[in-house]
Amino acid sequence: MLYTSTRNNKIRVTAAQAIAQGISEEGGLFVPVELPHFSMDTVREMMEMSYIDRAKTVLRTFLTDFSDEELNYCVEGAYRADKFSSPAVAPTVNIGGKENILELWHGPTCAFKDMALQLLPYLMTVSAKKTAEGKTIVILVATSGDTGKAALEGFKDVDKTKILVFYPVDGVSPMQKLQMTTQEGENVAVCAIHGNFDDAQSAVKSIFTNDEIKAELAKKNMMFSSANSINWGRLVPQIVYYFSAYADLCKMGQLQVGEPMNVVVPTGNFGNILAGYYAKHMGLPIQTMVCASNTNNVLTDFLKTGTYDRNRDFYATTSPSMDILISSNLERLLYHMSGESDAAMRGWMTQLAENGKYTVEPEVMAKIQNEFAAGYCDEAAVADTIHKTYTDQNYLCDTHTAVAAQIAAQCRKLIPVQVVKILDEETSIQREFAMIKVMAVDRTTRDEIIQMANIFRANIIDVSRETLTVAIFGDKSKTGALINLLSDFGILEMAKTGTLAIERGRSSIYDDSKLREEYNYGKNVL
């Protein structure tokens, strides 16, 4: 198995090189050139395996330059019984009906990051011996809370490594701060910064690509690497627990082998859910992957609009591992979805660095939306979900899991799509409805707005001392033109349906006789 860079697809490195290096020299992230494929027979065999054996089965296909002896050393050392409170390592727990939770908190720091960060030091040690020629590896880590402690614990006193963790001084919980600042180990250090996780992560990436600093390290026989999920060695262990969860569900009788499952993943840096994407494209029957965001919903907005925009308020929430506005691992997904275009990646990442935003092409977005759905919830909804899950199902979930549980509940309320038909403008009637609230503090302004509404055959539906609210129903160009003109007065709020469409004449979305028979009139159609 060889790996390339998202920003230079001519690069080819081994797994050991990718893990030891952490990030490509030009700033790109390493991705596999091709994915292995697992049959349902292999998945069926996993049902009777331990987590350690499941991990070996998956990882062996990615770490092809590791010997069986080296792989055994890594996996058995990482997931041995004294490190995890559950013999299953990552058990799947049914909390009622078809709803199951994958528990990733049984490691030494009680963070899901342990699943990867207990393994990464072993992978790093073996990789360094293969590629780093006896150099000491200096690991730089940015954290929003969980990664810091998990990385420090995983790498403490590991030979030929030093680890430095950067954390936002006001962006982690008191417990997380204590965990990091009291960490034992001769090779560990932490540094608090003024700013948020994105500031820390951006600084770490800039250090990685600084030639001057790298030259200084080389003089001392040292090299940089990372324990964040930008390192492939951190991401690949996460693929394992998707296969493990599916095997557990089949063993529990929740699924039949080959039956698809839906997955809702709380994510900020897009690493966890990306591991699920890789598992799906390795043959695991995942139907829908849902990206669950907290109040920092930059990913949800992107997955719905195609525009990634970090220029927004940053919120410190009760789910700090998701308090991120620059989702590094999204770069890996975009690379795959763009047809492995390193030029496109360089363009988007340059726009993000310079302008804080980028927009992907419609054809790329269509591919992404075919793979992912998305939703988000605020802090009140998180707290309510924790309470409701405990009250109704006698299960106490953490804040990050609560985000996923809330979005899963939202998804269950969605009306299923029963029929889809593309309607063109010539053979259909297309309209949209909009309500626009505009500032109108004086009589002259009010008169102008009323006159403008009359011209567009719009209605004034609400009047206050300082505002007018205009309602308009018409084609997209008409509503757009009115909105554009009203913006000069100062739009305070707007609600818009988007395009509504129906075919002209006797034509119907149910014209197909089979559809008529199966769905009948009156069914919901989206």
Residues in the chain: 526
Burial 286-317 (b: 16+ CB within 10 A, else e): beebbbbbbbbbbbbbbbeebebbbeeebeeb
Residues 471 and 461 sit within 8 Å (Cβ to Cβ): yes
For the chain, the C-alpha Rg in angstroms (whole number) is 26
* Burial of 498 per CB tally in 10 Å (0-12, 13-18, 19+): exposed
Contacts of 50 (CB under 8 A, 6+ apart): none
DSSP 189-222: EEEEESS-HHHHHHHHHHHHT-HHHHHHHHHTTE
Q: On the CB side of 439, how many CA atoms lie within 13 Å of its CA?
A: 7
Q: Confirm if 114 and 108 have CB atoms less than 8 A apart.
A: yes
Cα distances (angstroms) measured from residue 366 to each of 285, 369, 419, 521: 21, 5, 18, 30
Helix 120-131 / helix 146-155 crossing angle, nearest 10 deg: 60
Distance of CA 285 to the CA centre of its chain: 19
Strand, coil or helix: what is 45? helix
Q: Which residues participate in catalysis according to the annotation?
A: 113
Q: CA–CA separation, 376 vs 294, rounded Å?
A: 5
Residue 159 · residue 124 · CB < 8 Å: no
Residues linked to residue 357 through DSSP beta bridges, in sequence order = 309
Q: Distance (Å, rounded) from C-alpha 258 to C-alpha 342?
A: 35
Please name the helix (run of DSSP H) or strand (run of DSSP E) that holds residue 251, with its range, or none. Answer: helix 232-252
